[in-house]
Amino acid sequence: MEAISKAIGVVGVVAVLLGIAMAYIERHNSDLNLAFVPLIIGFAVIFVFFYLIEKRGNDRYGKIKERF
């Protein structure tokens, strides 16, 4: 498997773990604001996840011609 495909898998798993962390903090901690930390990191990880998917496509087939 290509290194980038492995990285996509790893980042996806990290996103899942951050969701779990958010739920865990909410259930076991009265400070709800703390639960937003994994959520915000989770969103950042999703951006990385998507960036890697896009990069893999661009590396294989080139950039999509039309920019919109």
- Which residues contribute to the site for other proteins (CB under 8 A)? 8, 12, 15-16, 18-20, 22-24, 26-27, 32-33, 35-36, 39, 42-43, 45-47, 49-50, 53-54, 57, 60-62, 64-66, 68
Treating both helix axes as pointing N-terminal to C-terminal, what angle do 3-28 and 32-61 enclose, rounded to 10 degrees?
170
Q: Do 60 and 8 meet the contact criterion of CB atoms below 8 Å apart?
A: no
Q: Which among 44, 53, 42, 54 is positioned nearest to 16, based on CA atoms?
A: 42
Looking at the Cβ atoms of 3 and 27, the one nearer to other proteins is: 27
Looking at the Cβ atoms of 10 and 23, the one nearer to other proteins is: 23
